Chain A
Amino acid sequence: MSDKRKFLASPYIVFILCGTVIPLLAVLYYALVDKDGNLTFSNLASIADPVHLKSLGLSLLLALICTVICLLLAFPLGLMLRKSGGKKGFIIFMLILPMWMNFLLRTIAWKILLQKNGFINVIFTSLGLGEIDILNTPSAVVLGLVYDFLPFMILPIYNVMVKIDNSLVEAAYDLGATPFKVVRDVILPMSMPGIISGITMTFVPAMTTFAISEILGGNKILLIGNVIELEFLHGGSRNVGSGLSMVMMFFILISMALLNKFDKNGEGTVV
């Protein structure tokens, strides 16, 4: 029986080709030629420029810190919310709702909150913790990154954790496991798919953002995203912008490959 239904996929295949495959090949092409169309490696090599190299390093570092903090905040939250199965719809609603306030504005709100006479400092001084002045420093950017991407870490982790069959957890307790061992040997391995997708959904946008660093870093923090945006839109060269994007993608792919290796190990221990 030949199934004619498969032709229904053809408009989508056109979109994949024209919207994903060809454009990505175009980036590769632009990255490998100069503005006259001659083959060159100078666009890729421009990452060696000290300013570019520093911004790439800083992006990797801040994205890593952001991912670790998000994971450390989201995993315990998942454990606590795990048994609230009946309220699942409400919890997801509460996590998605903030997205209906524009993310740039939410980031700008942090800028206002963090000002010298802002709300955070009022709270801190009244608690006797002294003033904090982190605006326009990497710490403020990390705060913004954690704020913007935390829901993307919580959602996948929460989604796998509510599905864990509680009888497995009870069985582990019955067999004499301590709470710590239950988390480490039962819940953690079974949450691995959620953790992996949470890390991906946090690390990649955190590493490649340019708006958050601009708003909270006050043009003092240059991330690789800022460099690419400057090259591409503000009088730089599209070719250099493409070259730097390729280098950035290379680092993202390496990170993902490391993560996948870790994932396989995780799955291995489940079986």
Chain B
Amino acid sequence: MKKFGKALYIGLIFLFLYLPIFTLVLLSFNDSKTPSSTWRGFTLKWFAEIFSREEWIEALINTLVIGLLAAGIATVIGVAASVGIMAISRRQRIVILQLTNIPMVNAEIVTAISLVLGFALFGLSLSMGTILFAHICFCLPYVILNVMPKLRQTGNISYEAARDLGAGPVKAFFSVVLPDIMPGVVTGFLMSFTMSVDDFVITYFTRPVGINTLSTLIYSQQKVGLRTSMCALSTLIFLLVLLVLLVRMFLTGRAAADKSTNGGV
């Protein structure tokens, strides 16, 4: 009985989290131009319509390009910064780490308007570049917070051993330190990419008129009436991501299983 109550509770929470997702997936197959709660029959035409809408494809490409560039650049700068931060004095380190926390705890809308005012201060007009800069800024903390703990775990020993054995600092980093911190680097990159793709508020403020990501496009659409094909597009993305993640989970799961059986022998 107690076990049943527990399963019911967990099930209800996850039902709550996934109900809108089931809804959106179902709606994208509904034969109705705007998302509606009445079922009018099954159709695939909204998936076909996606590709006839140039601005949507443009927004999708913008979203992916900004996401990849922001996550990639943030990862490079963030990993370099983490190595650097470990080498500076304790007091300076604390100051930098506290500043690193600001974009994470600050209200998004305040970060967004601060960036807009900052760009104005430097005389920059809003462009694709300002969106990218803003995204790098809010991605950086995710990289650093994932990489720093791994660096701390690894410590300096393996790096110094490599140096003693004659490796240059660059070689020592790439062949000894980087493989050790790789899980943190990958997590930092993936979190950054997810945050960038899902971001609405900061893009909405730092974009110029005429450039949209999927988020800002959805926002401006919902004011005039969302089309069902937008649900179809998001369903497509969601299912694609789900597939990639499942394959990845399956592969790492197998790798882990192999490892544990090898360890047993």
* A contact set with B: CB distance below 8 Å: 3-13, 15-16, 18-24, 26-27, 29-30, 73, 76-77, 80-81, 89-90, 93-110, 112-113, 115, 117-119, 147, 150-151, 154, 200, 204-205, 207-208, 210-211, 215, 225, 228-229, 232-233, 238, 241-242, 245, 248-249, 252, 256
Contacts and interface: CB of A to CB of B under 8 A. Distances in A.
B16 interface: yes
A109 B24 contact: yes
B113 interface: yes
B265 interface: no
Contacts of A151: 17
B109 A228 contact: yes
B10 A77 contact: yes
A115 B37 CA distance: 8
B38 A16 contact: no
Contacts of B31: none
A4 B24 CA distance: 53
B176 interface: no
Given A26-B117, A108-B226, A229-B109, A89 B81 contact: no
18 contacts: A5-B169, A9-B84, A15-B77, A18-B118, A20-B114, A23-B117, A94-B14, A98-B18, A99-B198, A100-B238, A101-B238, A102-B215, A102-B234, A109-B19, A109-B35, A208-B107, A210-B109, A211-B219
Nearest to A245: B110
Interface stretch (B44-52, B96-104, B178-186): B96-104
A112 B87 contact: no
Interface in B209-252: 214-215, 218-219, 222, 226, 230-231, 234-235, 237-238, 241-242, 245, 249
A24 B109 contact: no
B20 A93 contact: no
A210 B112 CA distance: 13
Contacts of B134: 19
A117 B37 CA distance: 7
Given A147-B16, A200-B105, A228-B113, A23 B234 contact: no
A207 B108 CA distance: 11
B83 A106 contact: no
A229 B204 CA distance: 10
A5 B84 contact: yes
B226 A89 contact: no
A112 B27 contact: yes
Contact of B201 (A12, A19, A97, A211): A211
B200 interface: yes
A256 B234 CA distance: 36
Contacts of A101: 20-21, 24, 234-235, 237-238
Contacts of B109: 208, 210, 225, 228-229, 245
Contacts of A252: 107
Contacts of A108: 35, 218, 222, 226
Nearest first, the 10 A-B pairs at minimum CB distance are: A9-B84, A23-B118, A12-B81, A109-B20, A8-B84, A23-B114, A19-B137, A208-B107, A26-B117, A5-B87
B76 to A, nearest CB: 9
Given A8-B84, A245-B110, 17 more contacts: A9-B87, A12-B77, A12-B80, A12-B96, A15-B140, A20-B99, A23-B115, A95-B17, A100-B194, A100-B238, A103-B198, A104-B219, A105-B218, A117-B37, A208-B108, A238-B113, A238-B117
B90 interface: no
Interface SS of chain A: helix
A22 B10 CA distance: 45
Interface of B: 6, 9-10, 13-14, 16-21, 23-24, 27, 35-38, 77-78, 80-81, 83-88, 96, 99-100, 102-103, 105-111, 113-118, 120-122, 133-134, 136-137, 140, 144, 169, 194, 197-198, 200-201, 205, 214-215, 218-219, 222, 226, 230-231, 234-235, 237-238, 241-242, 245, 249
B80 A27 contact: no
Interface centre among A12, A22, A117, A151 (most CB of B within 10 A): A12
A19 B206 CA distance: 12
A93 B245 contact: yes
Contact of B84 (A6, A73, A150, A207): A6
Interface centre among A81, A89, A103, A108 (most CB of B within 10 A): A108
Interface centre among A101, A117, A228, A248 (most CB of B within 10 A): A101
Contacts of A200: 105
A3 B85 CA distance: 11
A20 B230 CA distance: 34
Contacts of A204: 105-107
